[in-house]
Structure 1
Amino acid sequence: MSNTSRPEDFDAYWQQVCHELEVTPIAAEEEHLPIRSTEYCECYTVRFTGIGPYRLFGYLSIPHGDGPFPTLLLGPAYRSVADPLPQGDANEKRGRFLVFSTAGRGQRNADKPYAGLFPGMMTEGIDAPETSIFRGFVADWLRAVDYLLTRPEVDHSRLAAIKQEGMPLLTAALRPEVTHVVASPGSFYNTGDQVPGEIEDYLRLYPEKEAQVKRTLSYFDPIFFAPNVRARTLLLGNPEAVAPLEEALAGETDIRQSERSSYKDGMFQERWIADQFGFEDIIIPAHWQ
């Protein structure tokens, strides 16, 4: 596949997605979840509506005490399950940050009427940008931001979208209320020269669809969103590979090249977030101490 180019109707495509969200009521329903609550936070399940309409799911952890609180959005990832915090993370973080961890369409607790396959979901509807499952997946990230903006406990000056993929960049471009981003370029960055394995397998089966697939992928390439990302950003990736993305991003950007150590990379990320949000100390898992 040759390098992708920005679609002529790129802006119109995403304006339509945002319009669909505007006319779709969030219709949020929260339920207290004692088993996930702790001495330092209360946890709730949240069901809310994205485009389709489609009912989505999230875990909302609100610290005890007086807010508003710095907020971490852990939006839908390309996997089947969402947890209140990623496995292995320090649970005590939920006493400092308001944390909203969400499941997008197809993931567990948001798998009716559609249950996604992992792997497999990446090629769902990929023949056209209008039918790609990732159109809805991005919209689910945006809807999570919309929900957070309704919560009085959220500190609007410290709202970070975090995931080791490109979705936080797309979200910050379309929701400027996001103030901080932690992301890696993700599966859709510079897919002209190489594509994710699932898509490669798909094209082996349907080589005649290469042009269609290439066009669909171009609507999700973070390089085309970057000029609208004004959030302070931490990019995780090879500096040479992400250099074009860093240059295109409108906001101030830091780059972290992985040391292939979850401990070293994790410590750097936690230190970066703490510095950005004005904390002198960091909260880390017991096995890192």
Structure 2
Amino acid sequence: MPFTDLGLDELIGYHPESTDPRDFDEFWRRTLDEARSHSGAVKAERVTAQYGLRTVDVDDVRFPGWNGEPVAAWLLRPRGVDGPLPVVVTCIGYSGGRGLPTDQLLWSAAGYAQLVVDSRGQGRDTPDHGMGDGTQWVEGFMTKGIDSPENHYYRRLITDCVRAVDAVAELPGLDGNRIVVTGGSQGGGLALAVAGLSGDRVAAVMPDVPFLCHFREATQIAEEGPYLEIVTYLRRHSQHRVRQTFATLDYFDGVNFARRATAPALFSVGLMDPVCPPRTVYAAFNSYAGEDRTMTVWPFADHGGGYGANPPTQLSWLLDRGLAPER
């Protein structure tokens, strides 16, 4: 597989023009205020025994997300540790959900608590009721409700992920001052959005090969993956929808969230990634507002990034920033 994008020197200096909507901040303030106006407690049920785990406790969690609708999550933590524990809020990649708790044992093995957030409509435990807008969209989620930012699918999913950070305060044994948000691909884009919308409540963010960044360029150069859903939609519905489509997507672009995020950030990029081309990742990284930002470059990696080499990099980076669990 060849390199799919610019050379590394060009990527390091890549700064896209701003596509920041004038009312971006007001849109998200109104969206989150509305979500938080719905009452509903965070609920957690201990289910460890169902999974045969001896060193990790598992809670099946429900917290109020978009429109107060219940969002499923797993809470995993090392057994016998009282805390308060630093917590890793994990957002999930495209077309996946929270899966099984046995899929997510790394962070509890390292001494962290972990909140694994289901993706509405993608995971099996959190349905997406949508907005009933009647918009035509191709298979997938990228163009669902793309007629306006109010209707778009990612307004709901991003809101859910921000509300997951809110839910940490209602779960016992977690340290609300040490919340780390992470995820790969779609999860990385969601983590960036949460960092941009949650202010200093997020202590660190780790977006791996992040999706949902620099839409206008990504749709022109991505060779595989969900960006092509947008291309298919515009091909089917002709040129007259191009302007409105990208005007909607600007409200969900990781580049615009990065401009508002200040927590220490550890990005990663694969220079042979055909799904999230390196230029789109560097667009967010180079726009990031926080001074403490680091890029892990995997020169010969595809969309899998660093694969098994990435977690040790993350653990070391968190340790250096005082975000490791006490021993």
Alignment TM class, shorter chain as reference = 0.7 to 0.9
| Alpha-carbon distance change, 238 to 72 in structure 1, aligned in 2, over 3 angstroms | same
2:166 matched to 1:146?
Answer: yes
Q: Partner amino acid for 1:70?
A: P
Q: 2:112 aligns with which of 97, 113, 117?
A: 97
Look up the match of 2:150.
Answer: 130
Shift of 1:204: 1.0
State, as a whole percentage, how many aligned pairs show the same letter: 24
Q: Distance in 1 between matches of 2:255 and 2:107?
A: 35
Q: Which residue of 2 aligns with 1:229?
A: 261
Paired positions, count: 277
Deviation per CA, 1:117-139: give whole Å up to 9, x if none: 99612211112111000000000
**Residue of structure 2 aligned with 1:267, choices 312, 315, 320:** 312
Seen in structure 2, the aligned counterparts of structure 1 residues 122 and 7 have a Cα distance that, compared at 3 Å, is same
- The CA deviation string for residues 68-102 of structure 1, in whole angstroms up to 9 with x for no partner, is 01111012432232135584x65573461111101
- Deviation (angstroms), 1:59: 0.6
Decide which of 37, 40, 52 is 2:67's aligned counterpart.
Answer: 52
- How far 1:194 moved relative to its partner? 2.8
Give matches, 1:181-260, under 5 Å.
181-184=205-208, 186-195=210-219, 196-207=227-238, 208-237=240-269, 241=279, 242-251=281-290, 252-259=292-299, 260=301
1:179 is the counterpart of 2:203: yes
Distance between the aligned counterparts of 2:181 and 2:204, measured in 1?
A: 6
> Structure 1, residues 155-211: CA drift from partner, whole Å, max 9, x if none?
233211011221111101111211111104633322222321111111111123111
1:216-237 deviations in whole A, cap 9, x for unaligned?
1111112222232111100112
- Aligned counterpart, 1:157: 177
Opposite residue 183 of structure 2, the aligned amino acid is K
Contact 1:4 1:190 in 2 (8 A): no
**Alignment correspondent of 2:140:** 120
Structure 2: gaps of 5 or more residues: 1-15, 131-136, 220-226, 272-277
1:284 is aligned to none
Evaluate the alpha carbon distance shift between residue 235 and residue 48 of structure 1 in structure 2; reply closer, same or farther with a 3 A threshold: same
Kindly provide the CA deviation profile for residues 243-281 of structure 1, in whole angstroms up to 9, marking residues without a partner as x.
Answer: 453343222100011242413334323332343345599
- Match for residue 285 of structure 1? none
Q: Which moved more, 1:117-126 or 1:181-190?
A: 117-126
**Contact 2:40/2:68 (<8 A) preserved:** no
Note closer, same or farther for the CA distance 1:247–1:44 as it changes in structure 2 (3 Å cut): same
Farther-moved stretch of structure 1 (20-29 vs 140-149):
20-29
> What secondary structure is seen at the aligned counterpart in 2 of 1:212?
helix
Amino acid in the other structure paired with 1:246? F
Of 69-78 and 142-151, the range deviating more from structure 2: 69-78
Q: How many angstroms apart in 2 are the aligned matches of 1:119 and 1:128?
A: 18
Give the RMSD, CA atoms, in angstroms: 2.9
Helix, strand or coil at the partner of 2:252:
coil
| Alignment-mate amino acid for residue 294 of structure 2 | D
Change in CA separation of 1:105 and 1:39 when aligned onto 2, cut-off 3 Å: same
- Give 1:16 shift: 0.9
1:5 corresponds, among 4, 19, 30, to 19
- Please give the secondary structure, in 1, of the residue aligned with 2:142: helix
Of 18-27 and 132-141, more deviation after overlay is shown by 18-27
Q: Which range is displaced more, 40-49 or 186-195?
A: 186-195
TM-score normalised by structure 2 residue count? 0.75
Structure 1 residue ranges without an equivalent (≥5): 282-289
Secondary structure of the corresponding residue to residue 237 of structure 1: strand
CA–CA distance in 1 between the matches of 2:237 and 2:250? Answer: 19
Checking the alignment, whether the CA contact within 8 Å between 2:97 and 2:124 is kept in structure 1 is yes
Given the superposition, is the C-alpha separation of residues 118 and 100 from structure 1 closer, same or farther in structure 2, using an over 3 Å criterion? farther
Alpha-carbon separation, structure 1, partners of 2:325 and 2:107: 16
The equivalent residue for 1:111 is 127
